[in-house]
Structure 1
Amino acid sequence: CLPYGEGITFWPITEALTSLGDVARPVIDRLRDGGFAAPEELFLAVRRLLESLSAERPVILHVDDLQWAEPMLLDLVDHIAELSRVGPILVLCTARLELLDLRPGWGGGKLNATATLLGPLTLADSEKLLDELSHELDPEMRSPVLTASDGNPLFLEELVALAREAGLVTVPSTIEALLAARLERLTGAERDVLQCAAVEGEVFHLGAVASLIDEHSANALDASVARLVRTELIRPDEATIDGDSAYRFRHLLIRDAAYDALSAETRAQLHERFAGWLEGQDDDVADEIPGWHLEQAVRYGQRLGGPARPDLARRAVGHLHTAGRRARDRGDVSAATSLLDRAAALAPLAEIPPGQISVDLAESLMQAGDVARADELLSVAELEDSADPIAALTRCEWMIRVRPHEAVQMIESKLPHILRSLARANDESGLARAHLVASMPHWVASQWTLAGQQARLAADHAEAAGDAGARSRALAFYVGCIVYGQADVAAIARELDAIDRDEPGPSLAARAELARGQLARLDGRFADARVLIKRALEGFQALGMRELEAACDSELGVNELSAEDPAEALVWLLRSDALLAELGQHALRSTAQALIAQTQASLNDPHAARTAIALSERMSAAEDVLNFAITHRTRASLALGDGNTEAAIRWGQSAVANASRIDSLEVRADAALDFARVLAAAGRDGDAAAEARRALELFTAKGHRSGIDKTQSLLAELGVKG
C-alpha cells in the first residue's frame, strides 16, 4: 500500500493483479477506468478472478504495509478471506501495529485466518544474523552494533553494508542516520537516481527516473542502477506499466532517506514532472496518483513563495475531482471525502468555480455525518447556480438531517418540478437520486411502506442508469423501511437473503447485518442481536459512515431495553446521542432522546426522563409522530409512578393515537401493550385485556416473538387466555 495520497484505495490490488498478465486485464482495466460502480461488483470480480486461478494452482495474494490501506481495501481483504472457498488461496498481509487501530478484531485472528506479531530479534538471533551477513566486522564493533540495532534486522544489514563500503568507526545512533551515511557514500549520479526514484515511491519505474534526472546522470543511468542493485539498496520488481522496467527500494526507510535529502524546490519540480510523465502514459493511470503529485507540486511552490500556477492547480483539481466522484459512486466514503476535500481546497488556486466540487463534497460529508461543513459547501454551490437540480436535491437531504419539518415542506414544493425536469432529460441517475429524496418525508412521518416504495423506484432508476452505487444506497434505505414497517419477520428475512445472493458490498452488507440483528431482537435472541449489530457497527465505522454508526449504537440500546437491561441500554443510547449531537443531526437525535427518556424512566430517574422528553419533543418535527408515540408512553409511565392514574391514562391514549398514525406494527403494538399495563394498574382489567389482545394481534402479524411473550405474560396476570 502506498504511504502517500489518501484515497488511493485499490492501487495495491491493481499492482498485484498486473503480475498475472492478460488473465487479469479485464479486472484491471475496470479498476483503472472506474468501471465498478459499487463495491459489491468490484469485490465479486476480484474474488472470482482469484478463485478461477486457485482452481488450477494455489494462489498467494501478498499485500504489504496494510496499515496504510483505505477502509474499503481492508473490506476487500476481509471479503476474500471470508467468502473464498473454491480453491487454495493464501492472503498474506504484512503491516505495522497501527493496523489494529483500524481493525481491532484482526489481532486475535478469525475464521480461516490467523495473526502473528513479529517482535525484535533476540540477542542470539541477532548474533546469528550478524555472523551470516559478515565475518569481516571488527570484533570490537560487534557489541556496539548489536546494542544499537536493538533486534532490528534492517539496522544490522545496513551497518554491515556501511562497514563493507567505508569501514565502520562509529555506530550511528538511529536507522535514519545510518541510511543517510550510506547515501552519502554514493556517486552523484547514483544519488540522483535514488532521489528521483523516491518521488514515485517504494516501487519505481525506470522510464519515470529517466524523465526526471538531468542529462549527466541520464548517461550513467544503467550503470548507476546496476551498482545500486549490487549494493542492495534497490532490487528488481514487477512493472505496472507496459514496456517498462521496475525496481523496489529494499526497504521503505531507504526511500524515505533519499526523498528527505531533496530540497523543497527540487521536490516541487520533480513532482510536477513525474505527474506529466504519468499523464503521458498509454496505460490508464489512477487519477489519484497524478492528482497527488500535482498537489504536492502546488503546495511546495506555495511554501517557496513562487508565482501562482493556476494551470498546475487546475490539473490537480481535475484528477482529484474525478477520483473523488468515482470513490463516492462505489460507496468508499472515506476516500471520496479525502479526495474531494483536497480538490475543493485547490479550487481557488486553480481559479475555477467550486460549485460542482462543493456539491459532490457536501454529499460525501453528509454520508460521513459532517452536516455543518456540508451546509457551508452547499451555500457556495447555491450562490453559483441556484437552478442546479442535483444541488437542490443535496440541500433537501441536508435539511432532512438538520431541520426535518422545513425539509418536508421544501421537498413537497420543489420535488415535482425537479422530477419533471429530470424525466424530460431522461436522467436516470438524477431520477434515482430524486426518488430517494422523495422517500424521506415519508420516513420522517414513519410511513415506511410509502418510503420503501420510493426507495425501490430509486433502485430501479439506478439500475437503469447502470449506477450500482446509487442502487446500493437505495436498497440500504429500503431495508430500513421493511424492518420498521408492515412486513413480517419471514418476509424481511427473504429480502435479506436476496440481497446476500447479490453479494453486497460493505455498506449494504453492513445495513443487512444490522437488519438481521434487529430480527434477532424481535425473535428474543438478544445475545445474537448484540453480536450482529456490533458487526454492522464495525462495518460502518470502517467506512466512515458516522450517522449509521450512531444508528447502530441506538439499536444496541433498543436491544438492551428489550432484554430488560436499561442500565446497559443507557450506555449505548447516550453514546449514540453524543455522536449525533457532534454531527448536528437533529432528526435522528430527537428519536435517540425519546429512547433515553424511556430508559431513564425504567431506571426510576423521573427528572432525567422528563429532561430528555422535553429535548426530544423540542427537536421533533410535527410530522415525526414516532417520537411523540415514544415520549407519550414514557409520560404515561411517569404519571403512573406519581400516582396520577388519570394523567397516565390520558398519556397512554395519546401514545396509542400517535402510534396509529405510524406505518409500523411494532410501534403500534408497543403503545398498545404499555397502555394495557396502565389500564391494568388503574384497575380496568377488561379494558387492559382488550388492549393487550390488540397488541398480541400486532406482534403476531409482525412475527415479534419477544413481544408476543411479554403480552401473553400480561394476559396471564389478568387471568385472560392469550
Structure 2
Amino acid sequence: LDDVLGRPEEISWAVRRLLESFAAERPVVVVFDDIHWAEPAFLNLIEYLAAFSRGAPILVLCPSRPELAETVPTWATSLANASSIVLEPLGDAQCELLVANLLGEDVAADLGARVVAAAEGNPLFVEEMLRMLIDDGLLVKRNGRWEADVHLGGAVIPPSIEALLAARLDRLAPRERATIQRAAVIGRIFGWEAVVSLAPDSERRDTGASLQELMRKELVQPDADELGGEDAFRFSHILIRDAAYRAIPKETRAVLHEGFATFLEERVGERVAEYDEIIGYHLEQAYEQRLGLGPLGPGALALRARGRIKLWSAGQRALLRGDLAAGVNLFERAMRLGDQDDEDRVDIVIRLASVLLQLGQLEEAEAMLEQAHDQAALSEDEANATRAAIGREFVRLQTNAAGRAEEAARLAERAIPLFREQGDDLGLARAWRLRSEVDRLACRFGAKAEALEQALVHARHAGDEREEAEIRLLLGTSFVYGPMPVPRAIERCAELLEESRGVRWMEASWLGMLAYLEAMADQTDDARELYGRSRAIYEELGMTFALVARSAIPAAIETMAGNPAGAERELLTGYEALTAIGETELRSTIAAMLAETYASEGRDDEAEEYSRISEQIAATDDFGSQVLWRGARARALARRDGDPRAEELAREGVRLAATTDYLSLHGAALLDLAETLASLGRAGETAPILAEARVLFERKQDLPSLRRVARAASASETAATL
C-alpha cells in the first residue's frame, strides 16, 4: 500500500466503514490510548467516528491526560453522544485495597500505609513500588503467597513516580539497563531486531536474555511487530519509556537515533517512503543531540541534510493525502534543519507557504515568500528568486487581486523560458498555473484551459501528484464555464470522474461539476441527484468548507430549474458561512448571485443591497462578480424609477462580458440589458440584443438560458405592440 494515499477525510470514512462492518456482526469497543499526544488529524478522525457512526453499536474509549483539555478545550464538546469522565486520584482506602489485592492482607498491613501516603492516589505508583520491592527481594512469593522480608520495614519509598521509576531502572544490571535505553530511543513499541542492531557486537547475543529479564520485571511486555519481524515489545507504561530515555547521555542518544534511522532505512527496503517521517525524526533528534556537544563536524552536517530530505518527503506525502496540519509541521522542521543558502530551501518555503495559504494564514505565507525571494535575489539566484516570486504572486492574487493580473502575466512570461532552459518541470507547472490564474480572473476559460494543459504535462514529468491533482480540478472548471459545448464538457468531466474513482474528495468535485452541466442540459433531476451525491461525500468526509465554497452550484441548479427560493436558500447559507470566516473572493460572487436572484423576483431593495456588497468586496479584475452586480443593479434601478444610470450599468456589464469567453455570463449580461431597456420603456430596442444572447447560449448549448431568451423576446414583442 506504499503508493496508496488518501486525504484525512477519506481515511476517516474508511476507518468508520471498517468498524461498522465489524459492528454489523457484534458490538465493537475501540480504545485509542494516550490521545493527548495525537495529531489534529487523528483527533478529527475520532470526532468523525462519534458523529457519523450513530446506527452502529460502537463504543470508543479515549484515555488521556488532562493536558488534552488545555490544548484542545473544545474537542468533542459539541457531540451529543460523547461524554468525559474525569478519573480522580484513588482514595486512601482504595489504595489500601489495591495493595491488599496485589499482595494479600497480611503483607499489606505491614506496608500499605507507607505506600499509600507516597502514592497520593496514583495506582501506577503503587504497582511500580511493589515491583521495585520484588526486584530488591524485599517481597518474596512462597507457596503461592507473598511474604515480606524482615528488612521490608526499612525500605525507602521514593517521593514521586518519576523518582520511583528512575530508582527501578538504576537497580537493573548494566546490560539490562543498556538494552532498555536502546529500546527507549526506538519508541514505546520496539522490535527485537531493532534493539539488537543498536547493541555493540559484544552484547548482541545477550539482548534476548536482557529482554526476557525486562519482561519478568514487567517493565516491558510482548507486542506485535509493525515491521513484520518475529518478536516485538512495548513498554508497560509510557512513563517507563520516558524515564529510560532521560537517563541516556546526549552523545549516546545521538548515536542511537542515527543508528535506528539507518536500521529502519535498510529494514523497510522499497517501502522506505512510508517511513520517511519516522526516519526523519530520528535523524533530526540525532542532529539536535549533537548541537549541545560542541562544534559540529561533517558527520553532524550530513545528518542534518539527510533529516531535512526525509522530513521534506514526508511533508509532501502529508499534503498528497490532504493532511495540511501535518504538512506544515514537517516542512517547518525541514526548514529548521537547513541554512539560508541550501539549494532546496526555496522549494520548502514555497510548499509551506502554499499550505499556509490554504489554511488562511495569508500574511505569514506572503512574509515567508518575500523573505525567500529577497534572500535569493541577494545571492543572484534568479531561478529561486523567480520560484519565490511566483509563490508570492499566488498569495497576492487571493489577498488583493486588484491590478495584479498584469504583473502576474509578466512574471509568468519571464519564468517559462527560464525554467524551460533549466529543465525545471515543477517550476514550469507553477508558471503555467500562474498564467492560468490571469486568464481565470478575466474569465478567459479557453486560454485558461490551454495554460493548465501545459501545467499538467510538466507536473506529470516532475512526478508531483499533488500538483497534478489540483491542476486536473482547475481544468474541470474551464470545461464548465468556458466555451466548450455542454455535451462535450459532460463527456470530459465524466472521463475525469472515472479516472478519479477511489479518491473520494476528487469524486465529489467532479460530481459537482457534472451536476452543474446536467442542469445546463435541462436534466434537472439528474443534476440534483449528482449534486446530492457530491454533497453526501463532502458531508461524510467532514469537508464543510468545500461545501460552502461550492454553494453557487446548487444555487445555479435551482435557478435554472425555475426555483428562485431554493437558489436564495443555498446562496444565503454560503454567504453567511463565508462572512463568518472573513473570506471575500468567493463571497463577492455569491453576493452578486444573490442580487441577480432578488432582481429576478422583483425584490429590488435587496437586489441593490447585495449588488453594493459585491461591488465593495470584488476585485476589479474579477470579471464574473463585476458583470453580475452591474446587471442586477441595473434591473432594480430601471424598475424603481427609470433611473438613466441603469442603462449605463447594464452596458458596462455587457462590455466587460464581451472580453471573456464565458458564454453564459456574456449571454446573461445581454439579457440583463434587454430587461433593463424594456423596464425603461424601450422594449422595441431589445430584439438584436436578445438575438445575440441566443447565439451565445446556442454555442454553449445552455438550454435553460435559451428558454429565458425566448420568454424575454415574447415579453418584448408584447410590450412593443402596446
Query: Normalised by the size of structure 1, how large is the TM-score?
Result: 0.69
Note if 1:339 corresponds to 2:309: no
Note if 1:225 corresponds to 2:216: no
Alignment of 1:122-161 (within 5 A): none
Alignment of 1:309-348 (within 5 A): 311=301, 313-328=304-319, 333-347=324-338
User: Shift of the alpha carbon at 1:479?
Assistant: 0.7
Contact 1:446–1:626 (CA under 8 A) maintained in structure 2: yes
Contact 2:258–2:282 (CA under 8 A) maintained in structure 1: no
Alignment of 1:275-354 (within 5 A): 275-281=257-263, 282-283=266-267, 284=269, 285=272, 286-296=275-285, 311=301, 313-328=304-319, 333-347=324-338, 354=345
Distance 2:399 2:127 in 1: 54
Partner SS state of residue 280, structure 1: helix
Note if 1:662 corresponds to 2:645: no
Contact 2:634–2:646 (CA under 8 A) maintained in structure 1: yes
Contact 1:197–1:204 (CA under 8 A) maintained in structure 2: yes
Alignment of 1:413-492 (within 5 A): 413-492=410-489
Distance 1:684 1:553 in 2: 36
Aligned partner (choices 353, 372, 379) of residue 362 of structure 1: 353
Query: Normalised by the size of structure 2, how large is the TM-score?
Result: 0.69
Taking a change above 3 Å as real, the CA distance of residues 214 and 464 of structure 1, as seen in their structure-2 partners, is closer
**Alignment-derived partner of residue 188 in structure 1:** 172
Distance 2:343 2:421 in 1: 30
Contact 1:463–1:471 (CA under 8 A) maintained in structure 2: yes
Q: Spell out, residue by residue over 1:483-533, the C-alpha distance to the aligned partner (whole angstroms, 9 max, x if none).
A: 111223322221122113323545543432332343355444575465345
Aligned partner (choices 630, 648, 651) of residue 650 of structure 1: 648
User: Shift of the alpha carbon at 1:366?
Assistant: 3.3
Contact 2:548–2:574 (CA under 8 A) maintained in structure 1: no
Contact 2:48–2:542 (CA under 8 A) maintained in structure 1: no
Taking a change above 3 Å as real, the CA distance of residues 610 and 393 of structure 1, as seen in their structure-2 partners, is closer
The answer for unaligned runs of 5 or more in structure 1 is 1-26, 44-68, 85-89, 121-145
**Alignment-derived partner of residue 22 in structure 1:** none
Contact 1:206–1:246 (CA under 8 A) maintained in structure 2: yes
Alignment of 1:567-646 (within 5 A): 567-579=569-581, 581=583, 587-588=585-586, 590-595=588-593, 598=596, 604-605=605-606, 608-609=609-610, 611-617=612-618, 619-621=619-621, 624-640=622-638, 642-646=640-644
User: Shift of the alpha carbon at 1:448?
Assistant: 0.3
Taking a change above 3 Å as real, the CA distance of residues 628 and 72 of structure 1, as seen in their structure-2 partners, is same
**Alignment-derived partner of residue 249 in structure 1:** 234
Contact 2:284–2:307 (CA under 8 A) maintained in structure 1: yes
Q: Spell out, residue by residue over 1:556-605, the C-alpha distance to the aligned partner (whole angstroms, 9 max, x if none).
A: 66567664232552231232244353xxxx65554455446556775844
User: Shift of the alpha carbon at 1:348?
Assistant: 6.0
Distance 1:507 1:331 in 2: 10
Which amino acid in 2 is paired with 1:256?
I
Distance 1:211 1:608 in 2: 72
How many corresponding residue pairs? Answer: 606
**Alignment-derived partner of residue 534 in structure 1:** 535
Deviation larger for 702-711 or 424-433 = 702-711
Which amino acid in 1 is paired with 2:59?
L
**Alignment-derived partner of residue 372 in structure 2:** 381
Q: Which has the higher contact order (CA 8 A, sep 6+)?
A: 1
Contact 2:99–2:126 (CA under 8 A) maintained in structure 1: yes
User: Shift of the alpha carbon at 1:276?
Assistant: 0.9
Q: Spell out, residue by residue over 1:123-170, the C-alpha distance to the aligned partner (whole angstroms, 9 max, x if none).
A: xxxxxxxxxxxxxxxxxxxxxxx99999xxxx9xx9999559997758
Taking a change above 3 Å as real, the CA distance of residues 668 and 164 of structure 1, as seen in their structure-2 partners, is farther
Deviation larger for 306-315 or 393-402 = 306-315
The answer for unaligned runs of 5 or more in structure 2 is 63-86, 136-167
Alignment of 1:86-105 (within 5 A): 94=30, 96=32, 101-102=44-45
Distance 2:102 2:16 in 1: 41
Distance 1:666 1:161 in 2: 79
Distance 1:264 1:578 in 2: 46
Distance 2:528 2:123 in 1: 50
Contact 2:387–2:427 (CA under 8 A) maintained in structure 1: yes
Deviation larger for 367-376 or 92-101 = 92-101
Aligned partner (choices 223, 226, 238) of residue 225 of structure 2: 238
Which amino acid in 2 is paired with 1:394?
G
User: Shift of the alpha carbon at 1:198?
Assistant: 4.3
Distance 2:713 2:131 in 1: 84
Give the % identical residues.
21
Contact 1:596–1:612 (CA under 8 A) maintained in structure 2: no
Contact 2:316–2:327 (CA under 8 A) maintained in structure 1: yes
Deviation larger for 634-643 or 101-110 = 101-110
Contact 1:496–1:512 (CA under 8 A) maintained in structure 2: yes
Looking at CA atoms only, which structure, 1 or 2, has the larger radius of gyration?
2
User: Shift of the alpha carbon at 1:443?
Assistant: 0.9
Which amino acid in 1 is paired with 2:371?
V
Alignment of 1:46-57 (within 5 A): none
Distance 1:370 1:385 in 2: 23
**Alignment-derived partner of residue 124 in structure 1:** none
